[in-house]
Amino acid sequence: MRLLVIGHSYQTAYYQQKFAAMKAADPSLELRIVVPQGMKSLWSGDHKLAPPLVSQEVLRLREFFGTSHMTFIFDPISLIKVIRDFKPDSILIEEDPHSLSGLESALFARFCAPKAELIFFIWDNLARVPKFPLRIIKRLFTSISMRRVSGMICGNSEAMQLLQTVKGYKGPARVLPQLGIDPEQYAGAALPRIQTRVGSSGEPVIAFLGRLVPEKGVLNLIQALHGIQDIPWKLLIIGGGPLSAVVRSEWETLWKGRLTFLDPLPHEEVAEFLKCIDILVLPSLSVPWWKEQFGHVLIEAMAAGKVLIGSSSGAIPEVVGDAGLIFREGDVPMLRELLSRLLQSPDERSQWSQKALARSRQFSHDAVARAYLDALASFRRTKLSFATSRVFL
C-alpha cells in the first residue's frame, strides 16, 4: 500500500512513531508524510526523524498563513507535485475538514489521485455553532472536504457519535487514538537527576501535566490538596499558560517544599518524570468551546504504571476505562476524598498501578499501528463514494 499522510502534528519524531510502527508491522507499506516546514510549535526546529523513517518519507513543504493549524495552507504547487509523483492508494488527512489545509488537501487529492481512498482523522466532540458568516463557511468547507471520503477515523467515541448524528455522515468510521506510546520508554527507575528535580523525600507524588488554563482544572486540584495538608504528599506541576503566574505567586511560596513547578518539557523527557510520581490527576473541565478529547498523558502514565484520577470531562472516562478513578468534573470534595484515600493506602495504589499497566498495552505503538492498518484495509474493502448529506457546525 502507498499511504500519503498530511498533518501538521508530524513535524517531530515523537509523533512520527505511529508510522514507524506501521512500517514495522507491514514492511510493504510505502509512506509519505507531508508536514508544514515552518509552523511554530513547542517543538519548533526539531526536524529529527523517528527510525526507521528516512528524509524522503517526511516531506516538509512551505506553508502560508502559518499562524494557526486552522488557517495555514501548503504551497499548492508542491503539494500537487507530491500527490502526482507518489500516486498514493490511500490519503490520510489529519487536519480538520473545515480547516484551510484540510480543504486544500481534500481538493487536490480528489483531482490528482481520484482513485485513492480519502480518509480524515478528526477530534471534534462538540456541536459548536459559530456565528454568521463563519458558520456558513465551516459548513461549506466541511461539505466539500468530506465529499467522496472512503472513511473517517475519530479520536474518541463522542466525535464519532457527533459525526454520525449531527453531521449526518453514514460511511465507515473507526474510533482510534491518534498516537500510541512506547512501553519500554516508561519502564524502569527514574534517572537520579530527574528524581532530584522532583524533590520527593519519600512522600507520595501527585502530578499534573498539561496546559495551565482554567479548563484544564489545575486550580481544582490545588484546592482539593489544600484541604488535606495533614497527609504527606508532594505536588508536581509541569506546564505553561495563563495560570502559571497565579500558581507561582499564590502557591509556590505557600507550599514551599510541597510544590515543584516546571515549565513545559519536550515529549521525550516526560517519561522520566512520570517514573517519579505515584498519582497522575487530569481534572479537566468542560467549557462551551472545549472538552477533553483524549488526554495523551493518561496513557503515558498508564505505561509507567501510575495511579490515574480523571474527571468526567469528554473522553477521559473512555480512555481511563477500568484502569483508574473518575470524579465528577468540578467536584473538588469528591477529588479530595479520592486523593485522601489513595494517599493513605499504598495497597490500593499498588492495585490501581497494576490495572493501569495492563491497560497500557492496548495503546502501544504496535497496537495502534496495527489498528490503523486494519482500518485502512477495511476502508479499501468498502470503498465508498459519499457526499455529506447534512452538516451542522
Contact (Cβ atoms closer than 8 angstroms) between residue 393 and residue 98: yes
Return all residues near 51 (Cβ < 8 A) that are at least 6 apart. Answer: 20
| Cβ contact 202:276 at 8 Å | no
Please report which helix (H) or strand (E) contains residue 323, including its range. none
3-state secondary structure of 284: coil
**Domain annotation for the chain: domains and CATH numbers:** 2-180+365-381 (3.40.50.2000), 183-363 (3.40.50.2000)
Phi-psi region of 239 (alpha: psi -120 to 50; beta: other; left: phi over 0): left
The predicted-structure confidence for 160-192, as pLDDT tens digits, reads as follows 999 999 888 999 999 999 999 999 999 999 999
**pLDDT of the chain, 393 residues: tens digit per residue:** 999 999 999 999 999 999 999 999 999 999 999 999 987 654 444 568 999 999 999 999 999 997 888 999 999 999 999 999 999 999 999 999 999 999 999 999 999 999 999 999 999 999 887 888 888 998 899 999 998 899 999 999 999 999 999 888 999 999 999 999 999 999 999 999 999 999 888 899 999 999 999 999 999 999 999 999 999 999 999 999 999 999 989 998 889 889 999 999 988 899 999 999 999 999 999 999 999 999 999 999 999 999 999 999 999 999 999 999 999 999 999 999 999 999 999 999 999 999 999 999 999 999 999 999 999 999 988 764 444 433 333
What is the model's pTM? Answer: 0.93
pLDDT in tens, 337-362: 999 999 999 999 999 999 999 999 99
| Residues ≥6 apart with Cβ < 8 Å to 66 | 36, 38, 39, 40, 72
Please choose, from the candidates 98, 118, 250, 231, the residue with its C-alpha nearest in 3D space to the C-alpha of residue 167. 98
- Among 375, 374, 325, smallest CA distance to 348 is for 325
Strand partners, 121: 153
